């Protein structure tokens, strides 16, 4: 547009019959007018507008040669602001540099001079308007426009109160949930502890079948598992002791039945021995002496002996058979000095040697040989009895090994035999299933019997 020539340039779709609005805005920065500018004439649904005119001058002659007009529609501002301030309790004012309200979100001071314009210029935390309020003021460039955002103190306090109540509610809820969670955990632990205590009392009263069943992966679960393991071991130990006592009683009964006036037997054997010596049969006398010594040791009430004593008695037994077979039996013995004082149950080696003399010895051969060695291997004692006798066929060896692997039976000691099975059962009954007897043999290949025992010193043996 050109003010000198009064010529206007319009977009083709804008009416061109209302140029009077220009004179009302050219001398003002912002002017509210009921006459819509040509820019808004085509918008029949628009409300009042604010027009801002900027005169264009030649930079050399300073002559006016045109103007730029800006129209600000209040409806557009309202739509924009209401979407932002909705439900926040705040209001916004758009004012000119003189305090005239261009836009009021509450529509109270629209087109008027804002009565608290001067108060807005104060730099305070709280500004006294209709009520104490928090104010943020922003000047828009060099347009002279001022935007003021106002939130009443009461609204802030109300929001703070709501936030405070929300925080209190959330805190109370968290405390309640934590309390319930803690209570649940404590209750579960208390229930488990009561269960453990109940089973411990059952065990104290002698109920060895008490077993604790708990779920979860925690320390109480470990305690229950260890308790169950202890009960299993205790029950096994008591069962072993009970069986051992029964066997001991049976053995004592057999021994008592055999002890019919032993002094009479000693005196009788001694009389026979002296008669043999006086008759010139010294070898017969020596055999009777060895037999009497063996008889005395076997019926002695002492259950445990040292390996040195056991080997000495076994040596006398072999010596007796060497006399009988006129040196057709070669004997080798070895006792580890570190094992000599270890105690074992009496009559463990002699039955193994007897097994060879009864089943493996070849009377027609002059090269019969048996070797008995005792060595200590860390915390164990290993006794090996090896011979070059008849041996045994595979099916017989398999049958013996099968019977050796069976669980000890309290009735197995009721007979008078003290063979390999009897020795194995006594070892396992006294020392547990980790110890026992093994056999290796073959037809005409001799036999090797190995005894595994714990290395127990003196009174440590039960």
Instruction: Identify the CATH number of the domain in which residue 402 sits.
Output: 3.30.565.10
Q: Which residue reads 């002890």 in tokens? A: 259
pLDDT of residue 6: 40
Q: Is residue 270 part of a domain?
A: no
Domain annotation covers residue 122: yes
Residues 235 and 307 in one domain: no
Q: Which of 85, 102, 111, 109 is nearest to 147 (CA)?
A: 102
Does one domain contain both 450 and 431? yes
Judge if 174 and 68 occupy the same domain.
no
Report pLDDT for 107. 78
pLDDT of residue 74: 64
Number of alpha helices (DSSP H) and beta strands (DSSP E) in the chain = 12, 15
Please identify which residue in the block is written with the tokens 């002698």.
Answer: 206
pTM over 0.85: no
Q: Are residues 191 and 232 in the same domain?
A: no
What was the pLDDT predicted at 439? 94
Rounded Cα gap, residues 31 and 102, in angstroms:
9
Same domain, 365 and 345: yes
Continuous segment of H or E residues that includes residue 53: strand 49-57
d(CA 446, CA 386): 7
Based on the domain organization, do 320 and 386 belong to the same domain? yes
Is 260 inside any structural domain? no
Is 279 a domain residue? no
Domain hosting 48: range is 21-75
Going by C-alpha positions, the residue among 311, 317, 359 that lies closest to residue 339 is 311
Residues 217 and 200 in one domain: no
Q: Is residue 182 part of a domain?
A: yes
158-202 pLDDT, tens digit per residue, is 778 888 999 999 999 999 999 999 988 888 888 888 888 888 888
pLDDT of residue 449: 95
Strands 127-128 and 101-104: unpaired
The predicted structure's pLDDT at residue 28: 47
CA atoms 102, 104, 109, 110: torsion sign: positive
Q: DSSP assignment, residue 131?
A: S
Asked if 27 and 172 sit in the same domain, the reply is: no
Q: What's residue 106's pLDDT?
A: 77
So what's the pLDDT on residue 83?
61
Q: Is residue 38 part of a domain?
A: yes
Instruction: Assess whether 69 and 91 both reside in one domain.
Output: no
pLDDT, position 143: 66
Whether 146 and 233 map to the same domain: the answer is: no
Is residue 112 domain-shared with residue 43, that is, in the same domain?
no
202/212 same-domain check: no
DSSP 459: G
Residues of the chain with pLDDT under 50: 1-18, 24-25, 27-44, 260, 410-418, 460-462
Residue 271's Cα: distance from chain center in Å?
Answer: 77
Direct distance between the N- and C-terminal alpha carbons of the chain, in angstroms, rounded to an integer: 126
31-33: strand order across its sheet: 31-33, 49-57, 64-73
- At 128, which CATH number? 3.30.450
Single out the residue in 239, 259, 284 at which a domain terminates. 239
Domain annotation covers residue 15: no
Domain total for the chain?
4
């Amino acid at each position: 547009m050109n003010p000198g020539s009064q010529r206007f340039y319009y977009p083709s779709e804008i009416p061109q019959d209302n140029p009077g609005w220009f004179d009302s805005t050219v001398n003002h920065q912002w002017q509210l007018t009921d006459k819509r500018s040509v820019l808004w004439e085509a918008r029949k649904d628009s409300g009042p507008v604010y027009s801002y005119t900027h005169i264009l001058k030649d930079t050399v002659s300073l002559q006016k040669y045109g103007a730029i007009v800006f129209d600000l529609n209040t409806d557009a501002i309202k739509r924009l602001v209401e979407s932002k301030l909705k439900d926040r309790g705040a209001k916004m004012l758009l004012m000119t540099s003189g305090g005239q309200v261009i836009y009021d979100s509450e529509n109270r001071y629209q087109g008027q001079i804002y009565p608290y314009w001067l108060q807005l210029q104060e730099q305070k935390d709280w500004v006294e308007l209709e009520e104490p309020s928090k104010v943020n003021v922003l000047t828009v460039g060099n347009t002279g426009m001022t935007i003021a955002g106002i939130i009443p103190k009461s609204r802030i306090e109300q929001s703070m109160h709501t936030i405070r109540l929300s925080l209190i509610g959330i805190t109370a809820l968290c405390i309640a949930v934590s309390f319930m969670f803690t209570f649940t955990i404590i209750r579960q632990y208390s229930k488990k502890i009561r269960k453990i205590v109940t089973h411990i009392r059952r065990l104290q009263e002698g109920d060895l079948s008490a077993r604790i069943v708990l779920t979860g992966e925690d320390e109480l679960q470990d305690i229950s598992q260890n308790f169950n393991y202890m009960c299993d071991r205790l029950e096994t130990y008591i069962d072993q002791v009970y069986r051992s006592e029964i066997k001991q009683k049976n053995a004592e009964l057999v021994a008592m039945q055999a002890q019919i006036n032993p002094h009479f037997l000693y005196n009788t054997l001694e009389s026979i021995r002296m008669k043999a010596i006086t008759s010139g049969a010294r070898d017969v006398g020596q055999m009777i002496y060895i037999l009497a010594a063996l008889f005395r040791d076997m019926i002695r009430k002492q259950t445990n002996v040292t390996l040195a004593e056991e080997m000495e008695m076994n040596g006398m037994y072999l010596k007796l058979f060497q006399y009988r077979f006129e040196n057709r039996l070669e004997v080798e013995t070895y006792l580890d000095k570190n094992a000599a004082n270890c105690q074992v149950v009496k009559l463990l080696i002699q039955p193994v040697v007897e097994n060879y003399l009864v089943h493996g010895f070849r009377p027609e051969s002059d090269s019969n040989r048996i070797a008995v060695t005792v060595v200590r291997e860390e915390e164990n004692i290993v006794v090996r009895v090896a011979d070059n006798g008849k041996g045994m066929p595979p099916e017989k060896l398999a049958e013996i090994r099968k019977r050796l692997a069976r669980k000890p039976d309290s009735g197995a000691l009721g007979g008078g035999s003290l063979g390999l099975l009897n020795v194995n059962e006594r070892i396992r009954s006294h020392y547990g299933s980790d110890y026992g007897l093994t056999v290796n043999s073959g037809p005409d290949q001799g036999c090797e019997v190995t005894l595994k025992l714990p290395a127990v010193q003196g009174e440590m043996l039960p």
